[in-house]
Structure 1
Amino acid sequence: MAEYIVITDTSCLILLDNIKAFDLLHNIYQHIITTPEIAAEFKKTLPDWIQIIPVKDVDLVVTYNKQVDLGEASAIALAQEIPNALLIVDDFKGRRLAGQLNIRFTGTIGVLITARQQNKITSLRPYFDMIKLTDFRIDPILLDRILNDFKD
């Protein structure tokens, strides 16, 4: 298991819930947190292994919210307040802002790849097949390339 704190955005929670892989987060990462804004966007009760922590610097959230949506702004601001955090964010603008701020990040596909690398799942294919049935925007060619890399 990873030793750092993981901060997740709404898209990761929604997608993993939609493909029945929500528990993978808990299987891979020890400490998972999110913000009250993201919990509200998710619109479902979060499991008790996801801690909800508000951002201390609300002005930072307001500033980032000019570039990204409120959930992403809160997650990025929280990632700045927690040393060595890993941010899970899928939106391009959110990833770009996180990169500009030197915040380590991955996406939901990265979470699935980590699960495969850690042998928490034996194949990515069933998850990717389910993702293709959702409204999650990702290039199917990229998914196929990842499957090919893993000989999956």
Structure 2
Amino acid sequence: MIVVADTSPLNYLVLIEHIDVLPKLYGSVVIPIAVREELLVPLAPQPVRRWIESAPDWLEVRDSGAITLSFDPKLDAGEREAITLAHVHRDSLLLIDEALGRQEARHFGIEIIGTLGILRYAHLRGLLDLNEAVKSLQTTTFQASPSLIKSVLASV
């Protein structure tokens, strides 16, 4: 299985200092060129830019290819390329948070998981404390409904 990441989960996992769970959970992660570029924009948080500038060996940047899929025009380049890359590799998991991007990925039959799901899975594997990770996440710009956060915390 190939694991493809959009910008948001990588951004938040770096900010809460839990990016190291990704190789422990999935081995390696692939990102499209547009996601790398989004992580490098001047408006990205300094820790995120620093992390992607010296990306770890388990992170691979790939061209999403020449396949053209029809997307909602509101999706940004990173989401479009991540969904395309996941679509090309049929047995894939897409790490993505944005509601519209998740909806589009589901439309193409792509399995998805978001930042909260990754943290939950890492907690179940004994890699972190979910309560502490969610508290850290809530100090960032991450947005999720209180009911979603409550249900994720209650599920473990």
Same fold (TM over 0.5): yes
- Counterpart of 1:119 (choices 104, 116, 126) is 126
The residue that corresponds to 1:140 in the other structure is 146
- Secondary structure of 1:64's aligned partner: coil
Aligned Cα root-mean-square deviation (Å): 1.4
Structure 1 residue 120: deviation in Å? 1.9
**Residue identity opposite 1:22 in structure 2:** I
- 2:36 aligned with 1:39, yes or no? yes
Relative to the length of structure 1, the TM-score reads 0.88
What is the CA–CA distance in structure 2 between the aligned matches of 1:140 and 1:18, rounded to whole Å?
Answer: 20
CA contact (8 A) 1:7 1:86 kept: yes
Relative to the length of structure 2, the TM-score reads 0.86
The residue that corresponds to 2:78 in the other structure is 71
CA contact (8 A) 1:65 1:73 kept: no
Identity of aligned residues (%): 28
CA contact (8 A) 2:3 2:95 kept: yes
What is the CA–CA distance in structure 2 between the aligned matches of 1:143 and 1:104, rounded to whole Å?
Answer: 21
Structure 1 residue 68: deviation in Å? 1.0
CA deviation map 1:62-95 (0-9, x unaligned): x436241110000000011112010011000000
CA contact (8 A) 1:8 1:32 kept: yes
What is the CA–CA distance in structure 1 between the aligned matches of 2:154 and 2:65, rounded to whole Å?
Answer: 43
What is the CA–CA distance in structure 2 between the aligned matches of 1:98 and 1:137, rounded to whole Å?
Answer: 20
Q: How many residues align?
A: 144
- Secondary structure of 1:86's aligned partner: strand
What is the CA–CA distance in structure 1 between the aligned matches of 2:109 and 2:142, rounded to whole Å?
Answer: 26
- Secondary structure of 1:66's aligned partner: coil
Gaps of 5+ in 1: none
For 1:21-100, list aligned pairs within 5 A.
21-43=18-40, 44=49, 45=53, 46-60=55-69, 63-64=70-71, 66-100=73-107
Gaps of 5+ in 2: 41-48
